[in-house]
Structure 1
């Protein structure tokens, strides 16, 4: 058995290429790791690369470093194994992999490992920036592999010079781009025409799946993280003028049950048909694109006329999808504000909307009963009295202490400061104690108008909670006690707090609008390209819908053409990559027009002998053929001057048609 040859040592240039490509592959993954994990792993990678460049780290220390890093990542993730933990482990192992970078085999192993990082990034985010950074990293990795191939082929001319010639960095990158362009038609064909399931193109949910959406429960004080998240929750485009921002209440889950601390949905109400409503005023026609989330609750402008396909419209006009909205959703909806919303309330629903747990918030209950006696049967007087109290004595703040057992009592009589969760919860509890049916509604309010793209952005920090009370003759009526505290802060987000300096300057520039407009276009044309849009792909050509069989036939036809195009380009590139070979083949084409074509299997000497037998005057061809054989099989490959001269002479040679062989006449 032959002994395995040791891998050649890695030179400084090859090491630099491998490290640079690895860093570029790792960068998009580090940007998506949560918390300080990304910068920490990146800094560790730079330190390891700098130390290992000059010193060989012993094996026991490498093992200790890897073990400590694995333990640290797992401890940070609280030993929760999943997508985020796996991606963090991949990034950490890739960051310390350069400690083993000594030979060509080590470099190839590092680059092969690094190519997993851009693909892992798409498990966390599928935005355009991640794609561009991933493509840049993959390009550099392929160019680095080409550099290693040149180093391994010590007899190749590309190893001779790093500044110019076939082995220069620019030539390597150009070669990689040409290969990528060859495969681009097939990639586009697969993107547009490969039959897919009803889910979006990227079968794996993006990072937004890990972001919580609107929940079917609410506990006052637990929305701080959501109110600090300025990422988009939805983008809305109105067909015609839209409502004013203060009228944009995006209705989400309606919370009816209260246990003294938390509010939750009454799931069984979803089986009832939508409540009777009388609409009035203007109807809003709009398209809403919901960002992915881990929940099933959708939002719509109050009140939606109907639910889109796959979404259930509940009795309280909240919308719930049949499965988590783990991918971008785009719906065309119509909404109109109600004049009467469930004017006849069933006794069972009235009882549920009045129910309070025993033994909680005694001061609030006592105050509500006092107001009830003083107001008599006038429910609206109780509502207005509470709003006047809120306007005069309460304040808006996000810095609230954790509630105790009697959370509403503490808020109304002690703290008298909070945000939307506290106000809506306390309002509904007091209304119920006063005998007025009430419930909490969660969703979003307002939005930011992107003038560049002419659409509204509803962000997660626009999350809001308000109340609905049932009044005789009108049904459910929206009451927003947070607006009573400070109408200018109806949006109820961290952004509404006073800001200045660089943050205010950034928000005034159109750069953010343009960036979000680009992201919206990416969502429309890439992430939102699902099976339904694929079937409508050829509508501009008059084909209303593509059946699955038609789609498969079209994909097979265009995919076959793309493959044929790739094979032709690759074969052509392989045949004519070397300038001397290219000139030799063109010389053969010129003699083929005289009827003296060279067969593909025919050596140069045998072909020349056949040409001379038919045309003795072709002695110049014999000299060129001898020089070609010398260059091809016996000459020093490093003699670039002789090769250029031979290619020039081959291109300049022209057979004399007037004195050509008899076969050509």
Structure 2
């Protein structure tokens, strides 16, 4: 019954409502996995087409809801978290057009759609999400304005003000948003921020691609195909050669015959002793969100930065989960001597191998040990020589079986870093040499515009560390030992613009550099503005630190000014936008020097009569203008759009020309 009493939705307004809803859904879809986003977008388009002419049956709508929700849950593997919640929100909104036929339905659709941009910021806070979200909000507000105008139209037969064009409507909404912008900026910059949020943001249901505390077959190649930025580094002084840029991440000790894992209880142990070399790399890291606590550092970090700690194997762990962009200042040095005395517990962990796996590898390692007289360094050198002479690098590899290391070392002899590091460590352990797998990133891309280094997930790498008497842990990269002529199907050439359509001229590289530099500026200016930076906001003006009291005082001051600005602009209202009203108010001010200025509450004709009583010589001209103005303002003429514009311009000219002295004023 309530639906039948609601005004129906005309086709033009329905198109506005659906387009506004689609604009609100777009930024959210861009942050969802591609398969889920395409499924929801296809469902939304299909529902909009099927329900355009007539409502869909209730049973069909119920089936569509159950089917789409079930599909989303299957694609997210029934994981509960931010991703699944946002995907379900998008799915529900995609089905909303099937019940949008009245003005009230359209308002409900727009109100629901505005949750889309807000949900987007749970997944991403980049500039593109902000721009798309702001555009969607403006479009939605303009649509609500149109719906209000449609509902307020008089009965048929009465005069109707000419409708605004789409650009005029968006411009009007933009001006309204601009009125509140100073207050929003005051809140962003000056409202006191807490060092940590009042509540935790739920974990992502679908983990971000990144380094893990395990290395299973095939996982590394998926990561190497991801061009997403993981960190940006700016060096304070000397920069290490690219060949020495090993960004240390999780260290893997345990091997079950198929995958490597990191013992979690190692994280609580103090860092192993290390004597650093004289080489010092001083740098700042800008780490993208990973939804994990561990982040990488240049091998080997000297100490943990504030709000983080070092583990036994010099992994760095933040005190809080890295759910947003973070910045760290670190110093690293190549180790001169890394844990020269290996405790028996650590030695056993670094030699452990599962029984019943890889018998050919075990036999080869034991034979080498006998032939080389137990010389650990010589065994390492022989393994590297074998790799250099016989092995190839390729990403196209079959899935290995139970004896994966045997198959790689004796049969396949081709693979990528995951195969080389895993097989090398198993070979070393089989020879009685403590060894472990280290995962992280290797190298980086230098952005000349911003003067910083960019590391992407495609730079993911795995290498080995072996423990040698008198030297401690030594980094060994077996992948780097492959002869250049046997490197096939590689992802090493990672510079943007170095391949593809414009690769030969490098036209894409400057665009990439500029784009990422702008993203870094956004990170620095907006996402990195935390409580510490807020307290240092006025350092350029000689104020070292703003405490909470000063911030509150500044916020109240600027918020009050912004509030007065909003009140003043709002009070001007339509009279400042309408040229007729501006000219009319200017006319009243011209009579101020005669003591006959119009009072704010005084109607036009009443003011003209008052002026006529005081100065009969001014009455005729002013009375005619006042009558013309009243007819224009309140009579609601039947003129069309073009005729109305001409009448308005004529009235404005008459009001501007009229002067008291030109009607016979006595001097």
Taking structure 1 as the reference length, the TM-score comes to 0.89
| Pair 638,72 (structure 1): closer, same or farther in 2 beyond 3 Å | farther
Residue 584 of structure 1 and its aligned partner are, at CA, apart by 2.8
Secondary structure at the aligned position of 1:312 is classed as strand
Measured in 2, the distance between the counterparts of 1:493 and 1:458 equals: 17
**Cross-structure match for 1:129:** 128
CA distance in 1, matches of 2:505, 2:76: 33
Note closer, same or farther for the CA distance 1:362–1:13 as it changes in structure 2 (3 Å cut): same
Which of the numbers 345, 349, 354 marks the counterpart of 2:342? Answer: 345
Query: Alpha-carbon deviation of 1:659?
Result: 7.2
- TM-aligned CA deviation for residue 334 of structure 1: 1.6
Question: Equivalent residue for 1:325?
Answer: 322
Q: Which residue of 2 aligns with 1:625?
A: 626
Structure 1 residues 42 and 184 mapped into 2: Cα distance closer, same or farther (>3 Å)?
Answer: same
74 and 344 in structure 1: CA distance in 2 versus 1, 3 angstrom threshold: closer
Residue 142 (structure 1) aligns with: 141
Please state if 1:210 is matched with 2:207.
yes
Could you tell me how far 1:226 is from its partner in structure 2? Answer: 1.4
CA distance in 2, matches of 1:599, 1:203: 57
What SS does structure 2 have at the residue aligned with 1:442?
strand
Looking at structure 2, the residues matched to 631 and 117 of structure 1 have their Cα atoms a distance apart, in angstroms, of 43
Which residue matches 1:417? 414
Q: How big is the shift at 1:343?
A: 2.2
Distance 1:353 1:491, change over 3 A: farther
Structure 1: gaps (5+ residues): none
3-state SS of paired residue (1:234) = strand
Superposition deviation, residue 100 in structure 1: 3.3
Shift of 1:495: 5.2
Q: After the TM superposition, which of the residue ranges 153-162 and 142-151 deviates more from structure 2?
A: 153-162
Alignment of 1:191-230 (within 5 A): 191-199=188-196, 210-230=207-227
User: Counterpart of 2:86 in 1: which secondary structure?
Assistant: helix
- Report what 2:601 is aligned to: 601
Counterpart for residue 478 of structure 2: 481
Instruction: Work out whether residues 200 and 530 of structure 1, in 8 Å CA contact, stay in contact via their aligned partners in 2.
Output: no
Q: Does 1:407 align with 2:404?
A: yes
Name the structure 2 match of 1:610: 610
| Higher deviation after alignment, 333-342 or 21-30 | 21-30
Once the two structures are TM-superposed, the CA of residue 260 in structure 1 deviates from its matched residue by 3.5
Partner of 2:637: 636
Question: Per-residue deviation at 1:208?
Answer: 11
CA contact (8 A) 1:205 1:327 kept: no
| CA distance in 2: counterparts of 1:260 and 1:7, whole angstroms | 68
How many residue pairs align between the two structures? 656
Report the counterpart of residue 573 of structure 1 in structure 2.
573
Q: Which residue of 439, 452, 457 maps to 2:436?
A: 439
In the aligned structure 2, how far is the partner of 1:388 from the partner of 1:550?
A: 66
What residue in structure 2 maps to residue 515 of structure 1?
515
- Structure 1, residues 206-251: CA drift from partner, whole Å, max 9, x if none? 9898314322222343323212211111111122342221111011
CA–CA separation in structure 1 for the residues paired with 2:488 and 2:189: 40
- Partner secondary structure for residue 328 of structure 2: strand
Residue in 2 aligned with 1:650?
655
**CA contact under 8 A between 1:463 and 1:493: conserved in structure 2?**
no
The question of whether the paired residues in 2 share the 8 Å contact of 1:227 and 1:463 is answered with yes
SS of 1:84's equivalent?
helix
Structure 1 window deviating more from structure 2 (221-230 vs 484-493): it is: 484-493
Match of 1:78 in 2: 77
CA RMSD of aligned residues (A): 3.3
Say if 2:276 and 2:302, in contact at 8 Å, map to a contact too: no
How many angstroms does 1:504 deviate by?
Answer: 4.4
Alpha-carbon distance in structure 2 between the residues aligned to 1:325 and 1:212: 14
The residue aligned with 1:354 is 351
Aligned 1:102-501 pairs, distance under 5 A: 102-154=101-153, 161=162, 167-199=164-196, 210-486=207-483, 494=491, 496=493, 501=500
Partner in structure 2 of residue 45 of structure 1: 44
Comparing 238-247 with 631-640, greater Cα deviation is found at 631-640
Given that 2:605 and 2:627 are in contact with CA atoms closer than 8 Å, whether structure 1 keeps it comes out as yes
Q: C-alpha separation between the residues in 1 aligned to 2:362 and 2:286?
A: 42
Q: State the secondary structure of the residue aligned to 1:466.
A: strand
Separation in 2 of the partners of 1:52 and 1:37?
A: 22
Q: Rate the CA distance shift 1:236–1:497 in 2: closer, same or farther, 3 A.
A: closer
Residue range with higher mean Cα deviation, 470-479 or 409-418: 409-418
Paired with 2:9 and 2:598, the residues of 1 have a C-alpha distance of 43
Shift of 1:299: 0.9
CA distance 1:77–1:269, shift in 2 (3 Å) = closer
Aligned to 1:589: 589
Distance 1:70 1:345, change over 3 A: closer
Contact 2:394 2:488 survives alignment (8 Å): no
Deviation at residue 420 of structure 1 after TM alignment: 1.7
Cα deviations across residues 123-154 of structure 1 (Å, max 9, x unaligned)? 22221112212222222222222333333333
Query: Match for residue 99 of structure 1?
Result: 98
Q: State the shift of 1:338 in Å.
A: 1.6
Q: Is the partner of 1:325 in helix, strand or coil?
A: coil
Q: Mean alpha-carbon deviation: is it higher for 524-533 or for 271-280?
A: 271-280
Which shows bigger deviation, 37-46 or 552-561?
37-46
Return 439-448 or 351-360, whichever deviates more: 351-360
TM-superposed CA distance for 1:312, in Å, is 0.6
Q: Note the C-alpha offset of 1:90.
A: 2.7
In the TM superposition, residue 522 of structure 1 has moved relative to its aligned partner by 1.4
Which moved further from structure 2: 234-243 or 96-105? Answer: 96-105
Deviations 1:377-436 (A, max 9, x none): 421111111112222222323334444443323332333332222222222222222222
Partner of 1:542: 542
Tell whether 2:94 aligns with 1:89: no
